Amino acid sequence: MNNDLLLELISKAKEIAKQNFCCKYSNFTVGVALLCQDGSIYTGFNIENHGIESICAERATFAKALTDGHKEFTALAVVGKKLDEEKFNKTLPCGYCRQFLSEYTKPDFKIYTYDDNEDKLYSYTIAELLPESFKL
Ligand SMILES: [Zn+2]
């Protein structure tokens, strides 16, 4: 992926995370930007409730893209921070989302996160984040 597109993904993930009004339980906002194979980009944030399972930003965003008919995906940028902080921390998908991603992407699907404190980009594949995933 070229650097401009990667920076755009990170920027869009931060932008949507700052708009999050649905994380009042954790006060931790997560924003993601999902790049589909056709070049379109979807964004989303975590949507919490006090029931058993909230909806992570990753799955919220995939739900938007999948229900619009997208089936092939290239990369995902994930960022997260506490609401009362300015800087984003290194944030990666939870275990549940890793399994979800492994079922809707190819093993070389890229996941990026950015840490403002370290000023550092991290890059993984879903196969690296979830080796030996559950398969039927
Ligand atoms: Zn998750």
pLDDT in tens, 77-92: 999 999 999 999 999 9
Distance from residue 102's CA to the centre of ligand 1 (Å): 12
* Pairing state between β 110-115 and 120-125: antiparallel
Question: Which of 43-65 are b and which e, b meaning 16 or more Cβ less than 10 Å from the residue's Cβ?
Answer: bbbbebeeeeebbbbbbbbbeeb
CATH class entry, domain 3-129: alpha beta
Residue of 8, 48, 53, 58 marked active site: 58
Confidence of residue 50 (pLDDT cuts 50, 70, 90): confident
Given this model, what pLDDT does residue 84 score? 96
Distance from residue 8's CA to the centre of ligand 1 (Å): 22
Helices then strands, counting H and E runs in the chain, come out as 4, 5
Whether 128 is a known active-site residue: answer no
Model-level pTM? Answer: 0.95
pLDDT in tens, 59-76: 999 999 999 999 999 999
Distance from residue 119's CA to the centre of ligand 1 (Å): 24
Q: What is the identity of the amino acid at 110?
A: K
* Domain spans of the chain, in order of start: 3-129
